Amino acid sequence: AQTVTQSQPEMSVQEAETVTLSCTYDTSESDYYLFWYKQPPSRQMILVIRQEAYKQQNATENRFSVNFQKAAKSFSLKISDSQLGDAAMYFCAYRLMNSGNTPLVFGKGTRLSVIA
Amino acid sequence: DTGVSQDPRHKITKRGQNVTFRCDPISEHNRLYWYRQTLGQGPEFLTYFQNEAQLEKSRLLSDRFSAERPKGSFSTLEIQRTEQGDSAMYLCASSFVETNEKLFFGSGTQLSVL
């Protein structure tokens, strides 16, 4: 079974600084998606960034970028120029890329605090 | 369209009572998912529908849980004879099958069983 591990229950960062959230996963498959979701106090899960495993280039969305290391099964999220609105729970998630449907598998999350 | 909506946002019930939650997905989305999230954990998959067909159920979904999506639009999740262990946030998400990897989540229903 696929598993996703987030080893940092809590992280904090000063406003305008950079922070990296860690994620590792376990799978024997070669084709899959990886995601970072943000869950603010409003509780709605918001997709931050997505990476296809077949792509070597790391995904980037404005201030958010990932470091995808397929061989190491590592998928970290870097947030640059941190803003107060970035404070939230961040979940790493995995899903098989196949013709059927497999559900998202989430990690336990990392709570990010942004200090003004 | 304002996204995935869930009702109610909060539900407090006594052990042994039945509860029902509703999810209205984004209108053109044909896939609808239910997840459960307990404190300190990430969401766990419960079940999903493609149109009105329930295609997969997790082992987490005991016989006391039933989900329906009668017309392929909104969905309901019913829990019978609630137990304290059912206390959790129940999240609904939807997607369009052609872009299945993009799930849009609702804000969840927080269930507290006393």
pLDDT per residue as tens digits for the range B15-51: 999 999 999 999 888 899 999 999 889 999 999 998 9
What residues of chain B lie within 8 A of the CB of A96, using their CB? none
The answer for residues whose C-beta is within 8 angstroms of residue B69's C-beta and 6 or more apart is B32, B49, B51, B52, B54, B75, B76
Counting every residue written for chain B, the total comes to 114
Q: Taking Cα atoms as reference points, which of A50, A34, A45, A47 lies closest to residue A95? A: A34
CA distance A22 to B10: 32
CA distance B98 to B22: 25
* Structural tokens at position B4: 């995935």
What residues of chain B lie within 8 A of the CB of A109, using their CB? 40-42
Radius of gyration of chain A (CA): 14
List Cα–Cα distances, B18 to A65, B12, B75, B85, B111, in angstroms. Answer: 44, 11, 17, 14, 12
Query: What pLDDT, in 10s, does the model give residues A52-82?
Result: 999 989 999 999 999 999 999 999 999 999 9
CA distance A40 to A104: 19
CB pairs under 8 A between A and B: 55
In this prediction, residue B72 has a pLDDT band, given cuts at 50, 70 and 90, of confident
pLDDT higher than threshold 80 for residue A90: yes
Bridge partners for B19 per DSSP: B79
Contact A101 B56 (CB under 8 A): yes
**pLDDT at residue B103 in the model:** 87
Pick the residue with more confidence: B4 or B40?
B4
Closest chain A residue to B103, measured at CA: A47
Closest chain A residue to B97, measured at CA: A101
CA distance B66 to B100: 24
Interface list for chain B against chain A, based on CB atoms closer than 8 Å: 31, 33, 35, 40-45, 48, 50, 55-56, 58, 89, 91, 93, 100-108, 110
